[in-house]
A and B are shown apart, each in its own frame.
Chain A
Amino acid sequence: MILAAVRAEWFKIVRRPAVSVTIGLFLLLEVGIGYLITYLVATHPPANPGQAGENFANLRASLYPNSFVLKSISNANTLGGIFALILGVLVQGSEYGWETVKTAQTQLPGRLTILAGRLLAVAFVIALMTVGLFLLDAIASDAFAAIDGKAASFPPWVDIAKGIGADWLIFAFAATFGFALATLFRQSAMAIGIGLGYVLVIEGLIFGLLGQLGDTVKQVHTWFPAANAQYLTQAFGSVQGVFSLATNGRQDADATHAVVALSLWVIGLIVLSGALVRVRDVK
């Protein structure tokens, strides 16, 4: 029945305008902010940039193909996590808003099978979102290299594959986080508010303050999700993004640790969602 549930959820997700708009907007902003605006800034330095001139040159170089994996990771870290979280909330939260939970749960597959089908469909969607992001960035970087007359030299396939995997894991965490919050609160608005609040402010604020208490707190923080999203992206180079607010730029753990921690968070959030769906009445 799991395949039936995946087919049904996929049927629903691909026809939903809000999903296309969310992904489309993310990719548009990705190219708009990540490449077009950056190129405009990089090509219009102040008349006397002084030492900042080197920064403008680096900024321009970051738009070329050899930097595109780092660029994709950086932009995904900034924007993608937020959009993936919104996606996870939309997919689950709307079912409560429309009361379609009861319609779906009186069909054949059963509660947990439907949940598994929905999560797998979300996993496919964010995989497409990740591949779309890398594809778009590759095309954009190639285009800007061509405009500037630079050679298009892309990073090795292994690095690209690692980048796609890392991005997918960060998106997967954000989406399951949104999904679990929507399941918990049985609505979208509160889930988006609290989800964004956590990713953007709460974790960074709490551990920023508690960090003064010593290394034990820092060690505890290395198992929290926003911090690990940042550790993972930093493994590809110096990257600043939304999740970096949580660590204030520190690299307290390596990529392997980050992959393990984020995977545990994804599994934990799925288990939480499953337990809530299984146990609670549908009112």
Chain B
Amino acid sequence: MNIVETRRLTKQYGGHVVAVRDLNLNVRQGEVYGFLGPNGAGKTTTLRMLVGLIKPTTGTASVAGAAPGTHQSLARLGAMVESPAFWPYLSGRDNLRLLARYCRISDRRVGLVLDEVEMSQRAHRAFGTYSTGMKQRLGVAAALLKDPQLLILDEPTNGLDPQGMAEFRDLIKRLGQGDRTVLLSSHLLGEVEQICTRVGVISQGRLVAEGTIEEIRGGAQLIVRAAPVEKAHAILVGSLGESRVALRDDGSFSLDVGSEQTASIASHLVKSGLELTELRPSERSLEEVFMELTGSESGA
């Protein structure tokens, strides 16, 4: 069951700038979904549409079973879109107490979410004095206040140092356990690869791929190097079929077969009198796929 579903969602500014075009997004209940794309691809615009901050030009969206921005939808989602924004003169705790009043939530819940993001000790300080990491944590705490089914986090590790990023990844993994769905946007491939169960890749406002990381990367392959090359090619094509054998630029072969065939292929080549110098499994990295799909440099 999809907790977020968009159909041909489009946002156009000023008649000619299309930020998001015909987006069909499917986020399933209970998963940690990575919304991946280079800077300016349309990730934040999409998330803003999903939480009701901006209205789509055309297309539809259903978020937690209702139209974005409606009471029914907002009641089930918590969001941190772009940088966390709070009232700078209030303490972290008072900022959450304020949001709790908007949503008719007891102050006791404020203490619980502060504990969850490990901010209780620093919650008495004014938000204006917080470091980037503390602001991000408070942003997540605010998003958790309604104990939402759906948590939308827009580039939550932006501006954090490596240690902060690692801590934050652990936090998001923890939050994504159980029935809660996390929709996480990022341009950091390593982050998405570590945290997410499924990903959607957006480029220039269009969704160019969606699936599990394995699906996105494609199947595993075997790399074989054997001499003489011509004889090796003939033997491999003869036993596997032409469509599953590709000769690479460096003279090795890329075989579209599972790793369970490694031993039999090695044995066959050696018995045929070939000199086998390399035999290893190969997976395309998510970065390679990402760059292929988006035609851009990744932030990984």
Q: Which residue on A lies nearest to B88, using beta carbons?
A: A98
Q: Is the CB of A106 within 8 A of B51?
A: yes
For residue A218, give the distance in angstroms from its CB to the closest CB of chain B.
43
Q: Is the CB of A107 within 8 A of B90?
A: no
Is there a chain A Cβ closer than 8 Å to B137's Cβ? no
> Would you give 18 A-B contacts (Cβ < 8 Å), ordered by A?
A11-B94, A11-B97, A98-B85, A98-B87, A100-B87, A102-B85, A103-B142, A106-B51, A106-B53, A107-B99, A107-B103, A108-B75, A108-B104, A109-B103, A110-B71, A281-B48, A281-B55, A283-B54
Binary A-proximity of B42-69 (CB < 8 A = 1, otherwise 0) = 0000001001111100000000000001
Contacts of A107 in B (CB 8 A): 74, 99, 102-103
Interface-lining segment among A2-10, A58-66, A168-176, A235-243: A2-10
For residue B277, give the distance in angstroms from its CB to the closest CB of chain A.
58
Contacts of A102 in B (CB 8 A): 48, 53, 81-82, 85
Which residues of B does A touch, CB under 8 Å?
48, 51-55, 69, 71, 74-75, 77, 79, 81-90, 94, 97-99, 101-104, 142, 146
Q: Which residue on B lies nearest to A4, using beta carbons?
A: B104
For residue B6, give the distance in angstroms from its CB to the closest CB of chain A.
17
Contacts of B89 in A (CB 8 A): 15-18
Q: Is the CB of B86 within 8 A of A104?
A: no
For residue A9, give the distance in angstroms from its CB to the closest CB of chain B.
9
Q: Is the CB of B94 within 8 A of A108?
A: no
Contacts of B51 in A (CB 8 A): 106
Is there a chain B Cβ closer than 8 Å to A114's Cβ? yes
Q: Is the CB of A103 within 8 A of B74?
A: no
Secondary structure call for the B interface: loop
Is there a chain B Cβ closer than 8 Å to A263's Cβ? no
For residue A211, give the distance in angstroms from its CB to the closest CB of chain B.
42
For residue B15, give the distance in angstroms from its CB to the closest CB of chain A.
15
Q: Is the CB of A100 within 8 A of B85?
A: yes
Complex Cα–Cα for A281 and B48 (A)? 9
Is there a chain B Cβ closer than 8 Å to A158's Cβ? no
Contacts of A7 in B (CB 8 A): 101
Is there a chain B Cβ closer than 8 Å to A148's Cβ? no
Binary B-proximity of A104-121 (CB < 8 A = 1, otherwise 0) = 111111100010000000
Given contacts A99-B85, A106-B81, contact A11 B101 (CB under 8 A): yes
The interface on chain A, measured as residues whose beta carbon lies within 8 A of the other chain's beta carbons, has a size of 27
Is there a chain B Cβ closer than 8 Å to A220's Cβ? no
Q: Is the CB of B101 within 8 A of A100?
A: no
Given contacts A98-B85, A103-B142, A108-B75, contact A15 B90 (CB under 8 A): yes
Complex Cα–Cα for A59 and B52 (A)? 59
Is there a chain B Cβ closer than 8 Å to A12's Cβ? yes
Complex Cα–Cα for A83 and B142 (A)? 33
Q: Is the CB of A8 within 8 A of B98?
A: yes
For residue B17, give the distance in angstroms from its CB to the closest CB of chain A.
13
Contacts of B90 in A (CB 8 A): 12, 15
Q: Which residue on A lies nearest to B127, using beta carbons?
A: A98
Contacts of B85 in A (CB 8 A): 98-100, 102-103
Contacts of B99 in A (CB 8 A): 8, 103, 107
For residue A87, give the distance in angstroms from its CB to the closest CB of chain B.
16
Q: Which residue on A lies nearest to B152, using beta carbons?
A: A106
Given contacts A16-B89, A17-B89, contact A106 B74 (CB under 8 A): yes
Binary B-proximity of A244-283 (CB < 8 A = 1, otherwise 0) = 0000000000000000000000000000000000000111
What are the 3 closest A-B residue pairs judged by CB atoms, nearest first?
Answer: A281-B54, A99-B85, A8-B101
Q: Is the CB of B87 within 8 A of A12?
A: yes
Q: Is the CB of A108 within 8 A of B87?
A: no
Given contacts A4-B101, A11-B101, A109-B102, contact A282 B87 (CB under 8 A): no
Contacts of A104 in B (CB 8 A): 102
Q: Is the CB of B52 within 8 A of A106?
A: yes
Q: Which residue on B lies nearest to A100, using beta carbons?
A: B85
Contacts of B87 in A (CB 8 A): 12, 16, 98, 100
Contacts of A283 in B (CB 8 A): 48, 54
The one of B77, B98, B146 in contact with A11, judged by C-beta atoms closer than 8 angstroms, is: B98
Q: Is the CB of A108 within 8 A of B81?
A: no
For residue A247, give the distance in angstroms from its CB to the closest CB of chain B.
39
Complex Cα–Cα for A123 and B276 (A)? 85
